[in-house]
Structure 1
Amino acid sequence: MLELSISSFEQKYTLQNEDAENLGHDLSTLGLFKAFSESAPQLVLMLTNIIQMQDFQLFTVIKIISSLSSLSFSVLSYHRSMRAFVPEKLKMGWSSSIIYFLWNLFLIGPRVVCVSLFASVLPCYITAHFLSLWTLLVLWAWWQKTDFMDTKAGEWLYRATVGLIWYFTWFNVASGNKKLRRIIYHMVIGADTMLLLGLWWWRRSVESARLSPLPINPYLLIVMLMIIYIIGLALKLVYYWKFHPKQPDLQKDKKDGISQMKPQAPCYDMVDSGEKPETEPESVLSASALTQRFTSGIHKRMRNMAVNFYC
């Protein structure tokens, strides 16, 4: 991005509308990565400190809910970005957006709370738990043969980031039988969440004489978290039953000369062919050639995300 911006400034070159729009989709994905690689761990740390210090004030609760809502909104923003590739009649409305936001909030919230509860009583083991589960999730992403970046090193970085997102919520990265993968994911994460919650309850019962009493009954808290998680799963089923497009024709309307975007369009295979066009040496690439090389990578990522998201 920096290289392209400098060339654009020097040669008075501006991106086409299509390129700017594709870059916007790319940035929405980076926003999702940032939310779960930075905001989610910070929220776990903050909530762990609040639990240990017993600082359950109204403003503190509002901060926690706001942070969880921000995570859910980042997922919604990415989803709405992917809806740009479907016909106008399948665009995301307010009702579907609200349901999508709520089921992400109700699934991410209990997960973050359970991880924080576990870390508050067994802080020495949370790192081992994260690294163990994260490694398995990264290997699962590798097993799905992701194809997002242009280099092997970049692809492994992408898989590592996907594993971090999966630690908190579902994120589809490959085409195929997504329903089965979602079921497996929720079974594994649900069992892991219950394990963390059970270990937290066991530790509190063993150390009850030393630990300060919670402002809420532990049994009531466990039941509330389970109910919220089940409601989140139910809302997710409703969304995919009523609102999610079923294998739509992924394209854009032709406006201002912008070409259609279909999953297997030839223009999206320019980075897969391995053929390099005969151009000037890289050191003297023109701004248009540099932009074409840059946006071709964006096109590949957009194609892969759209196909994986809907097909």
Structure 2
Amino acid sequence: IQYTKLRWCLTIAGLLLYVGDIGTDIGLAVRYFQKGDSVWAGLTLAFALAGLLVTQIFSYAWYEDDRNDPVMSAVGKPTVSGLSKGRLAVLHLSGMGIFSRYYLLLKKGFKVLWTSPHSNAAAERNDADHCLFCMATDLSMLKLFETFLESVPQLLLQLYILLAHGGSSVLQYLSMAFSFFNIAWSLVDYRRCLRRSLPRIAAMPSGLPTAIYLLYKFCTITSHILSYTLLLALSPYSSIGLTVLWLLGTTWTHVLQTDFCSSPKLEPLYRAVIGVILTFTFFNVKGQDAMVPMTIYYLFYFFVNVTAPLLLGLLKPEWQTDPFLLTVSGVIFGGSVLGLCFLVLYYGFLHPKETQRQADEVDGVDVVVKPTRATRRRNNFLQP
């Protein structure tokens, strides 16, 4: 599978979405501060900084893994991707780690696709394409972290402010729009890149399977965010319930004994981030058979989505005839049903099956290729 020019252009689109998402959030935080809404300003800025901080930590750790990986190169080489350790540290301390990865991916992609697209032998081109997909996968994994630490909570917060406190602005709608599109893009991009970077997993076909997967995630996540919004509108103390759900997700990830990080010190942070992700949607945490936990998860998901509008209507009778509540309730119920239908359709008929990794042979002797740290982290990451 080749890394195409369209794929390169879509990377630029993803970068623009990322910049727009962060930029509108910062602008919105400034606007709240100017209006004297210090709580909303603080929360808006906190979510933006949380996603930024976590992605910088993991990005730097992965660069260090690659630099010190004996399978990839000599241990402790002075640079990785042409960047020295000191320069990498400065980039990540200044919050530019993600941008450095975008720059390196676009630079290498431009060289392969436009500078010398026909000069490489087939084997060299395959290696170059695989390298590009691996770079894109690392970037998409970081973007997935950023999405669920920043874009999803930001969307929930702005919807809550809009519903429970009234008042709106163009910037607020822009922030929600960028968050929404950033969520959709990161989910599909991560799935496609991850599958193409791992030989044991069949690539995700374009067209209908991609569309159905996106609709499944879009419907389930959107309806869940709206349900949480209604619960928060019912009582801000519902945030305690969200915290409990995060703790349950984090605890379950700990029970599964994930082995994602090369450094044991980073594993608790990874598990905490996965706990946040599981608060909003389901992923296969350890690449094992997930039919039972997925079923339990979505039964609870459906229960929450049905209960939230009912509780708000019963405990706050003045909302019962509110057109907005009726509309949101319809979207929640419709999104829940459609999301579950798309889930069954996708995993029942369209989900790519795993393929067995073929052993390399040299003169009739099987060669076991030792995986790099980069390959291990992609193997041990959340599986779609």
Question: 1:258-287: CA deviations, max 9, x gaps?
Answer: xxxxxxx6412xxxxxxxxxxxxxxxxxxx
List runs of 5+ in structure 2 lacking aligned partners.
Answer: 1-59, 68-76, 86-103, 109-126, 361-367
Aligned residue for 2:10?
none
Give yes or no for the alignment of 1:112 onto 2:232: no
> What is the CA–CA distance in structure 2 between the aligned matches of 1:87 and 1:107, rounded to whole Å?
28
> What is the CA–CA distance in structure 2 between the aligned matches of 1:50 and 1:252, rounded to whole Å?
56
Question: What is the RMSD computed on CA atoms of the aligned residues?
Answer: 3.5
- On the 8 A contact 2:234/2:312 being kept in 1, the answer is yes
- On the 8 A contact 1:72/1:108 being kept in 2, the answer is no
> What is the CA–CA distance in structure 1 between the aligned matches of 2:133 and 2:328, rounded to whole Å?
44
Secondary structure of 1:29's partner? helix
Letter in 2 for 1:247: E
The alignment covers a number of residue pairs equal to 262
- On the 8 A contact 2:133/2:193 being kept in 1, the answer is no
Secondary structure of 1:236's partner? helix
Query: Does the C-alpha gap of structure 1 residues 241 and 203 become closer, same or farther in structure 2, counting only changes over 3 Å?
Result: same
Match of 1:214 among 316, 322, 331: 322
Aligned residue for 1:202?
314
- On the 8 A contact 2:250/2:274 being kept in 1, the answer is yes
Aligned residue for 1:258?
none
Moved more, 78-87 or 62-71: 62-71
Aligned residue for 1:75?
187
Moved more, 106-115 or 188-197: 188-197
> What is the CA–CA distance in structure 1 between the aligned matches of 2:373 and 2:230, rounded to whole Å?
41
Letter in 1 for 2:285: V
Aligned residue for 1:284?
none
Question: 1:226-249: CA deviations, max 9, x gaps?
Answer: 122111110111111222112223
> What is the CA–CA distance in structure 1 between the aligned matches of 2:283 and 2:161, rounded to whole Å?
28
Aligned residue for 2:248?
136
Query: Does the C-alpha gap of structure 1 residues 215 and 63 become closer, same or farther in structure 2, counting only changes over 3 Å?
Result: farther
Secondary structure of 1:167's partner? helix
> What is the CA–CA distance in structure 1 between the aligned matches of 2:347 and 2:169, rounded to whole Å?
37
Match of 1:236 among 343, 359, 374: 343
Query: Does the C-alpha gap of structure 1 residues 87 and 243 become closer, same or farther in structure 2, counting only changes over 3 Å?
Result: farther
Letter in 2 for 1:117: L
Secondary structure of 1:153's partner? coil
Superposition pairs for residues 39-118 of structure 1, below 5 Å?
39-54=151-166, 64=176, 67-84=179-196, 85=198, 90-118=203-231
> What is the CA–CA distance in structure 2 between the aligned matches of 1:159 and 1:46, rounded to whole Å?
26
Superposition pairs for residues 1-311 of structure 1, below 5 Å?
1=60, 7=79, 8-9=82-83, 17=128, 21-54=133-166, 64=176, 67-84=179-196, 85=198, 90-123=203-236, 125-205=237-317, 208=318, 214-216=322-324, 218-219=325-326, 221-249=328-356, 266-268=369-371, 296-305=372-381, 309=383
Letter in 2 for 1:23: M
Secondary structure of 2:323's partner? coil
**How high is the TM-score relative to the length of structure 1?**
0.72
**How high is the TM-score relative to the length of structure 2?**
0.59
Question: 1:189-230: CA deviations, max 9, x gaps?
Answer: 22233343333223322xx2xx797333x4554243112211
- On the 8 A contact 1:106/1:229 being kept in 2, the answer is yes
> Displacement of 1:88 after TM fit?
10
- On the 8 A contact 1:83/1:92 being kept in 2, the answer is no
Query: Does the C-alpha gap of structure 1 residues 88 and 26 become closer, same or farther in structure 2, counting only changes over 3 Å?
Result: closer
> What is the CA–CA distance in structure 2 between the aligned matches of 1:43 and 1:64, rounded to whole Å?
5
Letter in 1 for 2:212: I
- On the 8 A contact 1:23/1:298 being kept in 2, the answer is no
Letter in 2 for 1:26: D
- On the 8 A contact 1:76/1:101 being kept in 2, the answer is yes
Letter in 1 for 2:370: C
> Displacement of 1:80 after TM fit?
0.5
- On the 8 A contact 1:54/1:214 being kept in 2, the answer is no
> What is the CA–CA distance in structure 1 between the aligned matches of 2:271 and 2:177, rounded to whole Å?
29
> What is the CA–CA distance in structure 1 between the aligned matches of 2:256 and 2:262, rounded to whole Å?
17
> What is the CA–CA distance in structure 2 between the aligned matches of 1:239 and 1:246, rounded to whole Å?
12
> Displacement of 1:148 after TM fit?
0.5
Query: Does the C-alpha gap of structure 1 residues 9 and 81 become closer, same or farther in structure 2, counting only changes over 3 Å?
Result: closer
